């Protein structure tokens, strides 16, 4: 079973308009409401690909109830902790001549809520996969990644981490199954700029030396690189297409990799190709990737 954790899920209210004029009434030409959060994106894409998962995290209020409903509509399972105080945040994403985002705060999370999350994680079994993705909100301890991975250490659970800088580096000693920085995040860890597929390889190996088992680097138009624990390096150019919306593309790559890994009984090359195709399919679409979109791109790799 695959589980995902999103610490601060959101309702994403997406609007489009020709231009945004501060201080004036702005009329939108398009609007949509989606559940937001990196782990949630992974769960939804897994569902689109025909794989079951369970999304974990914290929700509250009427917006929390809507997140649960939207997850059900997408076909993705969830088992969120219902928080008593506050409401799940609303993030407004304004797509005009320039993109503007206004992000909400989120509910108040108590120690008892954190313990409830731990109880759900304690139920994971050997062979299960846990995806922890995104930032840690201010209402939670800053070392939540470390706490979770320390708690699950040695239990045979494959943990995937998709986070930036210190959040990622500090958990490498727990030997995550997969980490997925992009080339800019990887370069920021080591204070260098990485622009080509060949350039990222030695730095991916440095993260392996620190404890990561498999390192998947997304590089937008440059494609992607996988440095697996087997020692081989797998690279791919980016599939051809027009980028419509890059939000969720990295999360989709993680979902595609896990789907491909399961479907191929652990073949890294197959998992990598599935990840690349799924990430690109989301980037080329207004919404998250579907199975037919992914399979069409797979034929081009």
Give the per-residue SS3 of 173-214. HHCCCEECCEHHHHHHHHCCCCCCHHHHHHHHHHHHHCCCCE
299: Cβ contacts below 8 Å, ≥ 6 apart? none
Nearest-angstrom CA–CA distance, 117 and 145: 13
- H or E stretch including 238? none
Bridge-based pairing of strands 224-227 and 234-236 is antiparallel
Q: Which of the residues 12, 113, 162, 251 is marked catalytic?
A: 251
CA-CA-CA-CA torsion for 159, 192, 222, 204, nearest 10 degrees?
-30
Asked if 270 and 291 count as a contact pair (C-beta separation under 8 A), the reply is: no
Strand partners, 92: 13, 102
267 is catalytic: no
Alpha carbons within 13 angstroms on the beta-carbon side of residue 160 total 28
Beta bridge partners of 163: none
Tokens 């195709």 correspond to 277
CB contact at 8 A, 285 and 242: no
The total number of residues shown for the chain amounts to 301
State the catalytic residues: 251
């Amino acid at each position: 079973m695959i589980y995902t954790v999103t610490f601060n899920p959101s309702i994403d209210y997406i609007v489009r308009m020709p231009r945004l004029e501060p201080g004036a009434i702005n009329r939108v030409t398009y609007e949509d409401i989606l559940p937001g959060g990196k782990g949630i994106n992974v769960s939804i894409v897994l569902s689109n690909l025909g794989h079951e998962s369970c999304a974990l995290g914290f929700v509250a209020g009427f917006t929390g109830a809507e997140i649960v409903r939207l997850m059900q509509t997408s076909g993705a399972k969830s088992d969120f902790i219902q928080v008593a105080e506050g409401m799940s945040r609303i993030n407004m994403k304004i797509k005009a001549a320039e993109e503007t985002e206004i992000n909400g705060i989120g509910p108040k999370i108590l120690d008892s809520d954190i313990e409830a999350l731990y109880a759900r994680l304690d139920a994971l079994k050997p062979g299960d996969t846990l995806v922890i993705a995104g930032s840690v909100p201010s209402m939670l301890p800053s070392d939540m990644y470390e706490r979770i991975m320390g708690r699950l250490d040695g239990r045979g659970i494959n943990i995937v981490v998709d986070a930036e800088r210190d959040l990622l580096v500090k958990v490498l000693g727990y030997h995550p199954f997969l980490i997925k920085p992009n080339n800019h995040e990887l370069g920021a860890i080591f204070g260098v700029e990485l622009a080509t597929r060949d350039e990222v390889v030695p730095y991916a190996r440095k993260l392996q030396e620190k404890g990561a088992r498999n390192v998947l680097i997304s590089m937008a138009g440059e494609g992607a690189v996988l440095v697996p624990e087997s020692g081989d390096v797998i690279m791919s150019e980016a599939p051809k297409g027009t980028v419509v919306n890059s939000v969720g593309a990295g999360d989709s790559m993680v979902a595609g990799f896990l789907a491909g890994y399961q479907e191929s009984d652990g073949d890294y090359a197959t998992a990598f190709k599935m990840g690349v195709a799924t990430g690109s399919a989301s980037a080329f679409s207004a919404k998250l990737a579907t199975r037919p979109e992914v399979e069409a791109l797979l034929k081009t790799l």
